Every structure is written in structure tokens, then in C-alpha cells.
Amino acid sequence: MVPVPGPTIRDVANLAGVSVATVSRVISGSAPVSPATRERVEEAMAQLGWRPNMAARSLVHGRTGLYGVIVPDVANPFFGELATGMTREAARLGIQIVMLHTDFSEEQDLAALDLCREHRLDAVIYTSGTLGDAHRDAFRKLGRPVVLAATFDPDGEWPGILVDSEIGARMGARHLLSLGHRKIALLGGPETDQVAAGPRWRGWRAELAEAGCLPPAEWQLEVRWKQQHGYQAAISLLRQPEAPTAILCCSDMIALGVLAAAADLGISVPHELSVVGFDGQAIAGFWRPPLTTIGQPIGLIGREALHLATRLVAGEEPPTTRWLTPELIVRGSTATPRR
């Protein structure tokens, strides 16, 4: 049987109504192409099931078509949604993603960056949190574009895309205050975290201080970002003789741990305790009660980070960090306090 040849780059060009050279420019990023033209070419590629030959592209352009994505916790749904936004867009653009999990370890971060450098990946998208001097040195040694997703560089050397956490924290505190809560506890990550936890602590405290109800130190607890740590902290808080009527949490995962603790202690949410999370993970809306949270456009952050990486690979000048506005999502875990 004679094999049937697959689609070619010329087939893509004919279907999109452009030249072969234009298709090549879309693939390689070697020259500007209008968004409308790029969309037609990408749709033609998807319709025909045609993908560029990565080995050939690497030889011609010095590129591999591979992007590294460094993720600190693959078990956390936040990073799962973030990575999904990137990988779906990458598949549409004919880019391959190499996912590297580092478990919030600086040592593993640096090992992952070394791996990206050794294999000459076209770009790196870093999602792993606060940057240290060692990270900065490793980024410079890469010799490839670096994009920060859901994190940022205070010095502005590398562009990032993320939500303004301080504004989001104020939204959460303001929501509880508007319901009449004055006994509000805070569960946040380490304040040294310049990306997420630190700004959220600042936003909470500023909003609560302005209302004259900043909580005592024993109601302001640093915890890790996992459910079990939110659970343990909430058990400690809710067993106190004078317990809070509401808890602001630095992440949805911490907040889900708080909801579990309240259930185990026989405390009704939201009638006896209100809980607010931060992130807007899909799972939070399916909990019982569904979690009130500060939503981030997680998938959008991932997609935009990938688009920015492709533009930098094509030689565009890096933009400044892009700050997105969070959204208050009111669900069933908050209500007017009874006491």
C-alpha cells in the first residue's frame, strides 16, 4: 500500500490564503505578522492537523520549539489551571511545553533552570514565587527570554503577568467589614514573600486598621499554602474562648482547610463563621458551602505569559510587568455575623 502523504506547509498557505513565506513567518516569529493573518494561519494549521518539523526549525532558526515552564506545586489546582492555560495555547501555536516541578525548593528551581539552559529551550516561563539573587544569576546565564507568570521582579529586569494582590486583599477585608464583621482573623503565607503573601498581609492590615479593627497578633498567623496547614491553624483559632467571626485566607487551599476545620468542630459556615479565600480556583465553587474568594484570571495569566514568551523569542523588546485587577466572587461562605 502506498502511504498517503500528509498535509504540507503549502497546503496550510493555500487554505489560509497566504504565501508559504507568511506561514513560515508565523511559525518562526522571524518577522511581524498581523493578528488577523496569524489567526488565519493558526486556524488552517489546526484544521489540517499540520505541525511544523521541530528538528528542521531548530536547524534553520536555532530554535527548538520547546518552552520550559517551572512550577512549584503540581498538586495545587492554582498551578494546574495556570499550566493548563499555557499548554492549551502552546498546542494551538505548535509549541511544546516542558513542565518542571520544583516543590517550592530554590535548589530545584536552579536545577530546572540549568536543565533549560543545557537543552537550549527557546524560553522559560517561571511561576515559582519570589526571586532570589541565585535566580537572577541563573536567568542571566540562560541567554534566553524569561517570562514571570503569577510572580514579578521588583527590579523590573524580567517582565511578568500577575494580579495585584494588595488590592485583592483589601477587597476581601472590605467585604467582611461591609457585612458587619469586626472580629476577623488572618491566615497568610510568609510575609517575606514579595509576590503574594506579603502584599496580601499589607492589604488586609491597611483595610482593617482604617476600620479600627486590626486583629491581635494571635489572630494573625503565618501558614504554608496547603489545606492541612489552614486546617491546623483554624482549629487553634476556633477553639479559643474568644474566637473570630470571620477568617481571611491567603489562598483558596488554606480556606478549604478552614472550612474542613469548622465542620469538624461543629461550627456552621457562614452562620457562625465567615471564610474568604484568594485565587478563584474552580474547585472552590464546588465546595460546600461554596467559597467566597478573590478571583484571579488564572488561565488568562497562563495564556498571556505564553504569548509574551513567543513575542520575546521573535525579538520584540520586553514590556514592563502587567498588573491585572482581581475580582471579588461572593458565594455561600460569608454572611452577617450572629455575634
Q: pLDDT at residue 146 above 60?
A: yes
Neighbour count for residue 322 (Cβ, 10 Å): 14
Question: Which pTM value belongs to this model?
Answer: 0.78
Which of 257, 238, 245 is CA-nearest to residue 335?
Answer: 245
Burial of 17 by CB count in 10 Å (0-12 exposed, 13-18 middle, 19+ buried)?
exposed
Average per-residue pLDDT for the chain:
89
The mean pLDDT of 64-83, rounded to a whole number, is 89
Same domain, 205 and 266: yes
Same domain, 191 and 269: yes
In the structure grid, which three cell numbers stand for residue 303, read together? 495564556
Report the chain's terminal Cα–Cα distance, integer Å.
80
Same domain, 157 and 260: no
Residue 12 resides in a domain = no
Q: Which residues contact 301 (CB under 8 A, 6 or more apart)?
A: 82, 85, 149, 150, 161, 162, 163, 324
pLDDT band at 55 (very low <50, low <70, confident <90, very high): very low
* Three-class SS state of 192: coil
C-alpha to C-alpha distance for 335 and 272, rounded to whole angstroms: 9
Residue 240 resides in a domain = yes
DSSP E strands: which ranges in the chain? 66-71, 96-101, 123-126, 146-149, 160-163, 184-188, 220-222, 246-249, 274-279, 292-295, 322-324, 327-329
In the structure grid, which three cell numbers stand for residue 69, read together? 515552564
Q: Bigger pLDDT: 215 or 52?
A: 215
Q: pLDDT at residue 307 above 80?
A: yes
Same domain, 183 and 260: yes
Phi, psi of 6 (to 5 degrees): -80, 175
**Number of independent structural domains in the chain:** 2
Same domain, 141 and 191: no
What is the DSSP pairing of strand 322-324 with strand 160-163?
parallel
Tell me the DSSP string of 56-106. Answer: HHHHHHS--SEEEEEES-TTSHHHHHHHHHHHHHHHHHT-EEEEEE-TT-H
Question: Which pLDDT value is given to residue 58?
Answer: 46
CATH number, domain at 284? 3.40.50.2300
Same domain, 206 and 274: yes
C-alpha to C-alpha distance for 135 and 156, rounded to whole angstroms: 14
Same domain, 218 and 146: no
Encode pLDDT of 18-41 as tens digits.
887 788 777 765 567 788 888 888
Under a CB-based contact definition with an 8 Å cutoff, are residues 155 and 218 in contact? no
Residue 20 resides in a domain = no
C-alpha to C-alpha distance for 8 and 221, rounded to whole angstroms: 59
Question: Which pLDDT value is given to residue 59?
Answer: 39
Residue 306 resides in a domain = yes
Domain range for 275 is 165-297
Encode pLDDT of 190-249 as tens digits.
988 888 899 999 999 999 999 999 999 999 999 988 899 999 999 999 999 899 999 999
Question: Which pLDDT value is given to residue 338?
Answer: 82
Residue 23 resides in a domain = no
Residue 50 resides in a domain = no
Residue type, 6: G
- What stretch of H or E contains 9? helix 9-16
C-alpha to C-alpha distance for 109 and 126, rounded to whole angstroms: 9
Same domain, 77 and 125: yes
Q: Bigger pLDDT: 126 or 56?
A: 126
Same domain, 169 and 275: yes
The mean pLDDT of 310-328, rounded to a whole number, is 90
The mean pLDDT of 180-193, rounded to a whole number, is 94
Same domain, 170 and 288: yes
Residue 336 resides in a domain = no
pLDDT band at 130 (very low <50, low <70, confident <90, very high): confident
* Three-class SS state of 127: coil
The mean pLDDT of 73-85, rounded to a whole number, is 88
Residue 204 resides in a domain = yes
Same domain, 242 and 266: yes
Same domain, 288 and 237: yes
pLDDT band at 330 (very low <50, low <70, confident <90, very high): very high
Phi, psi of 163 (to 5 degrees): -90, 150
Question: Which pLDDT value is given to residue 305?
Answer: 93
Q: pLDDT at residue 63 above 90?
A: no
C-alpha to C-alpha distance for 58 and 149, rounded to whole angstroms: 26
